[in-house]
Structure 1
């Protein structure tokens, strides 16, 4: 199985282009005003317009009103929605888009049971839990805590970078990996070389998975 890649928190056209040219499967645009990686509709439109074909555009929301999400969808051609707040299954499924449900690895949380509630999700994204912070923490959680019986494909996030993503691919074997801070020089400003090194590390481990050497 090939592990897919998403570069999240894109705020600049040039970073989106670098990610696409380096082989990213998806980019993430953050529509959450409190995030240092938040983008406006105008920024998002320019970024999406610069992308080549076959790069999935994911829009990230945190407890947004339905009207707010719809306003973005009316202006930006998002392929997938990603919900990082307290959204219920019904709230996630209220839009004509596939969606991911992000779950933070809070101690004592039954991740398998919670993920099963989101039967309409394309996948479940697991991220580190930091009180009051909805993703993009740069913190890694203990991968041994990931349950084996997740109801949906796993997207692994939280503290990933070029130095540890190979280990993540080998140990967790997720459907996809999601990185933001691990390829930045500052919040929202990506580093082209870090992006390339991250995607190369995933590619090399994908090659080993496919040829059976892992």
Structure 2
């Protein structure tokens, strides 16, 4: 299982996540309590091994501005977390992750029409488009990863529930931000536990069949 730790703002956190085995790091350039400036992101990215994804998270940003930031800081992937049409951002020249907020089964109907390298299933937005710490009903997307190999999962994940989420949805990658924080700051112990539990989920008991 591949893991993305999002909302990175310090070198210490980035290097710790890498040491623990993360596959991707996310940098939020959109308005957020985890927003980072381009120069800060560049300083961190310069310390990260080449094989780690450096994902820039944007919300309804102009494609030219995203391309400028991507080239200046060294991003490898673009995450679109707003109302964007991915086709409008192909000129950036980087793999695109498109977030989809899951409210109901109807939200899943639009997935097939999305032209993106990866689809990120996330919980409905609150004040910000992502990273709000709430999960959605995983039964809505049960085992979707078995039929679609580019599904990423986010929304309310944490070290305690990640194994169950993986067993339920079967995504190719899981994405966490607030679930590895304490008092709004990244918690190094939670990052380690999350990555360990995601990559070694063990035997999971299906919640739907418990106590029947």
TM-score, structure 1 as length reference: 0.87
CA distance in 2, matches of 1:6, 1:105: 19
1:170-189 matches, cutoff 5 A: 170-187=167-184, 189=185
C-alpha separation in 2, matches of 1:53 and 1:176:
19
Residue 124 of structure 2 is aligned to residue 126 of structure 1: no
User: How many angstroms apart in 2 are the aligned matches of 1:44 and 1:108?
Assistant: 36
Instruction: State the 1:94 CA deviation.
Output: 3.0
Q: Say whether the 8 Å CA contact 1:41–1:72 is kept in structure 2.
A: yes
CA-based RMSD of the aligned residues comes to: 1.9
2:133 aligns with one of 130, 133, 138:
138
Q: Is the contact between residue 15 and residue 190 of structure 1 (CA under 8 Å) also seen in structure 2?
A: yes
Unmatched tracts of structure 2, length 5 or more: 205-212
Offset, 1:108:
5.5
Per-residue displacement from partner, 1:55-93 (whole Å, max 9, x unpaired)? 111111100012321220231111110000000132232
Q: SS where residue 6 of structure 1 aligns?
A: strand
Any residues of structure 2 matched to 1:8-157 within 5 Å, and which?
8-32=6-30, 34-107=31-104, 109-111=106-108, 113-119=109-115, 121-146=116-141, 148=144, 151=148, 153-157=150-154
Task: Write the distance in 2 (CA, Å) between the matches of 1:92 and 1:208.
Answer: 40
Count of aligned pairs between the two proteins: 202
Distance in 1, matches of 2:191 and 2:162, equals 12
Output the CA distance in 1 between the equivalents of 2:80 and 2:149. Answer: 15
Is contact 1:130–1:137 with CA below 8 Å preserved after alignment?
yes
Given the two structures, how large is their TM-score scaled by the length of structure 2? Answer: 0.88
CA distance in 2, matches of 1:98, 1:137: 25
Q: Deviations over 1:154-212 (max 9, x none)?
A: 1010000000001111222111100000001243x21110000001111222x769xxx
Looking at structure 1, the residues matched to 148 and 182 of structure 2 have their Cα atoms a distance apart, in angstroms, of 35
Shift in alpha-carbon separation, 1:158–1:24, aligned structure 2, 3 A: same
Higher relative contact order (CA 8 A, sep 6+): 1
Ranges in structure 1 where 5+ consecutive residues have no aligned partner: 210-214
Shift of 1:144: 0.5
